[in-house]
Amino acid sequence: MRRKVWLAVSLTLLLVSCASILPQNSEPEASETLEVGQVAEDAEEESAPEEAESVLPEDNEADSTEPDEQDQEIVLTVWTTDAVVPTGGQAGGDILIDQLASFDQQFPNIRVDVLTKRLNGTGGILSYLRSAPPVAPGVVPDLVLLDREALIQASEDELIFPVGEAFPEDEVANWYTVATDLATVDGQLVGVPYVLDAQHVVYRASLFSSPPNSFEAALDSPVPFVFPANSLSTVNHTLLMQYLAAGGLLADEEGQTRLSENVLANVLFFYTQAIEEGNIDGELFALTENAESWALYREGRAAFAVVSASQYLAESEDVRNTQATWVPTFEGNAITLVTGWSWAIVTPDPDRQQAARDLLTFLMNADNQGEYTEAGSWLPTQPDAFTSWQNETYADFAHSLLEAAQLLPSPATLSEIGPPMQDALESVIQDELDAFQAARNAVEAVNPSNTPEP
């Protein structure tokens, strides 16, 4: 069977045109897809349904002989987002293009067609997965990239298939615990964790004799501690990380939302001391995102700031005299909150599921993942991937950070505990309320009445 060849500008692999998988008489929205490179055949010429659905070789009516099963080409349709795009215009895109081209050579009977779509909203990945199968099964992809919340929704709606059996237990055991948690829903592994992002501190190394990652060190800092203290709807992540690192709980053994009053009070007391020492001030509430504190650091207007790993890795060459550590905590314990993206299998067809597993195994090869994540400004989901990183200093730090990482709590949990915690911080910093009274106010707003301190 003659194999179709798809040419990209980089002479490697390209993304298939949106029209090749959308149902007929449906016009794709401009914001819905991103076409990279060019295809060998113009999408407008593919007007016949049988040409658009190129999953299996075309039947020859004049020849009733079935083609050899091993000669059949599987066209594996992959939907991704702007987060991970195999194009030279995206960080790490060239690396991913090369890796997909290598996969194409190793598996000549599998052709990978990649389409970029928005995650949510009309025309997004979740919308298609819910609505397309009954009316246009040919539109549904075989493999999709989802963030944590989308993965939970897809699993609960039974839009994806568990992948637990696709990866041996010893291989899964090599992933970071937080990565496994990222791809697990209701105790079942439903995705393959691919890339992570985390939060940490950067600081001017010449100003500190040791990493300022404890409350004591932060109070002794010669420069202010800068972090996005505000939050539009919940609690800022710096306070949340400090609370969790000190042993604070978000729920009791029965799963009921709870706050630990003494832990929260001790964390808030740090801010009382920091105000007295002049290490923080109320202007921090003008910041709502890590990107803002990173911008201040990059521009030289801050020397001790909270950032995201992806932001730092993407622009670390723009700053000098810089090292990384975790946010200051009560006893200097490492902590970070992690988000990330996982691959999920959509196709119910066993042969196509196996093809998807082959691709995932290839992408999750430690060398491949390490090469892509460093180039793409991500953190890998397995320690072995760091061995191929050229920035060994940061790789060592990131490994220790991910060993102590926790998932960012769910939106439902944050909506309950977040506003009272945020109000407590604001009352301490802006209104100079006693830290222990502020903690008591937060606990009374969250915890059920007449329950003991967790």
Residues listed for the chain: 454
**Confidence tier at 182 by pLDDT (50, 70, 90):** very high
Same domain, yes or no: 252 and 347: no
pLDDT at res. 27: 38
Same domain, yes or no: 143 and 161: yes
pLDDT at res. 384: 98
* Tens digits of residue pLDDT in 248-257: 999 998 889 9
Same domain, yes or no: 250 and 296: yes
Count of domains observed in the chain:
2
- Domain assignment of residue 165, given as a range: 18-57+70-195+341-403
Answer whether residue 12 is part of any domain: no
Same domain, yes or no: 132 and 158: yes
Answer whether residue 219 is part of any domain: yes
Whether 20 shows a pLDDT value over 90: the answer reads no
* Tens digits of residue pLDDT in 297-314: 999 999 999 999 999 999
pTM for the full predicted model: 0.84
* Tens digits of residue pLDDT in 227-248: 999 998 899 999 999 999 999 9
Whether 405 shows a pLDDT value over 50: the answer reads yes
Answer whether residue 10 is part of any domain: no
Same domain, yes or no: 410 and 386: no
Same domain, yes or no: 207 and 285: yes
pLDDT mean across residues, the chain = 85
Answer whether residue 3 is part of any domain: no
Whether 106 shows a pLDDT value over 70: the answer reads yes
pLDDT at res. 134: 61
CB 136 within 8 A of CB 19: no
Same domain, yes or no: 136 and 189: yes
| Total H helices, total E strands in the chain | 16, 12
pLDDT at res. 87: 80
pLDDT at res. 168: 80
**Confidence tier at 30 by pLDDT (50, 70, 90):** very low
Q: For the purposes of burial, counting CB atoms within 10 Å of the CB of 283, is it exposed (0-12), middle (13-18) or buried (19 or more)?
A: exposed
| Mean pLDDT score, 8-27 | 36
Same domain, yes or no: 141 and 231: no
Whether 15 shows a pLDDT value over 80: the answer reads no
Same domain, yes or no: 188 and 204: no
Answer whether residue 144 is part of any domain: yes
Three-state SS for 269-292 is: HHHHHHHHHCCCCHHHHHCCCHHH
Answer whether residue 141 is part of any domain: yes
Give the C-alpha separation, 7 to 101, whole Å. 11
Residue 374: half-sphere exposure toward Cβ, Cα within 13 Å: 19
Same domain, yes or no: 411 and 399: no
Return the higher-pLDDT residue of 85 and 43.
85
| Mean pLDDT score, 49-55 | 32
Answer whether residue 247 is part of any domain: yes
Whether 269 shows a pLDDT value over 70: the answer reads yes
Answer whether residue 7 is part of any domain: no
| Mean pLDDT score, 153-178 | 90
Give the C-alpha separation, 258 to 447, whole Å. 5
Q: What is the DSSP string of 27-93?
A: PPPTTTEE--S--SS-GGG--SHHHH--SSPPP-TT--PPPPGGGPPEEEEEEE-TTS--STTSTTH
pLDDT at res. 167: 81
Q: Which CATH number fits the domain that encloses residue 278? A: 3.40.190.10
Give the C-alpha separation, 380 to 178, whole Å. 11
Same domain, yes or no: 298 and 375: no
* Tens digits of residue pLDDT in 319-371: 999 999 999 999 999 999 999 999 999 999 999 999 999 999 999 999 999 99
Same domain, yes or no: 390 and 345: yes
